[in-house]
Structure 1
Amino acid sequence: MRIYRLLGIGERLLEERRRLNLSQTEMGKLGGVSLNTYYSYEKGTRKPDSDFFEKVYVAGVDVLYVVAGVRNNASLNNDESALLAQYNKLDARMRSAVLALMQTYNSEA
């Protein structure tokens, strides 16, 4: 298990939302909360409750990461874990470039 840079729950929730390519409205709906409530989670002015986490977990949110800053790599093999670790070090611009490259490569295969 690897602990990632020190971010708050709101910042890690934002990372997960972006990883899943969801809007704030979509993430709020998945978690059963309004847009305003979800926005306050990302801003750090409110903390999500267990009901919210149960609902977004089903949608693929890495709840362990959001709450504790530890990625849940239990189901990943070594190559996948290494790839994810390197990807998480990239800034948003580079992440977009990597994803575009992978999508282009996979559409040609």
Structure 2
Amino acid sequence: MSGIGSRLRQERERLGLSQKNFGEIGGVEANAQGKYENGGRAPKADYLSRVAERGVDILYVLTGTPTPTQLENLSQIEEKVLGNYRAMFKEDQDAIHRLTSTLAEHSTSSNGKSRSSTQDS
């Protein structure tokens, strides 16, 4: 499997979400999500917009080219966290990914806003 569907699945898995949860974010049922991922159906723009708001790299999904990440604007703490992460064994990186995905999901579960965006208000 290659193309948009497989990249969409990769992004869903990267975020640690089930097809049902991911479909809910995009405003579709789990069976539609499955069809998107297996290439049986093409996602529409409104769906892509919704999942992009939750961290999906839409450029990657559509083209296979990841969106470049700007690292020059990282705070000192972010640089330290990233440096520590890169120094870890793969298994530990996987655990950190699961932890941060879960924390982010909990942070955005109320009103669809992240904790930092609600603190800025």
Shorter-chain TM-score tier:
0.5 to 0.7
Counterpart CA distance in 2 for 1:97 and 1:36 is 33
Matched, 1:13 2:19: no
How do residues 45-84 of structure 1 correspond to structure 2 at under 5 angstroms?
Answer: 45-76=40-71
Measure, in 2, the Cα distance between the counterparts of 1:75 and 1:60.
15
- Residue in 2 that maps onto 1:88: none
Paired AA for residue 53 in structure 2: V
TM-score, normalized by length of structure 1? 0.66
Segments of 4+ moved more than 3 angstroms: 95-98
Equivalent-residue separation in structure 1 for 2:32 and 2:55 (angstroms): 20
Number of aligned positions between the proteins: 84
TM-score (ref. length: structure 2): 0.60
8 Å contact kept, 1:7–1:69: no
Question: Based on CA coordinates, which of the two structures has the bigger radius of gyration?
Answer: 2
Q: Is the 8 A contact 1:31 1:55 kept in 2?
A: yes
Larger relative contact order, structure 1 or 2 (CA cutoff 8 Å, min sep 6): 1
2:39 maps to which residue? 44
Q: 1:76 to 1:42 in 2, by over 3 A?
A: farther
Amino acid at match of 2:49: E
Question: 1:73 deviation in Å?
Answer: 1.6
Runs of 5+ unmatched residues, structure 2: 73-78, 83-89, 98-121
CA RMSD in angstroms, aligned pairs only: 2.7
Which amino acid counterpart does residue 52 of structure 2 have in structure 1?
Y
- Identity rate of aligned residues, in percent? 43
Structure 2 CA distance for aligned equivalents of residues 76 and 22 of structure 1: 26
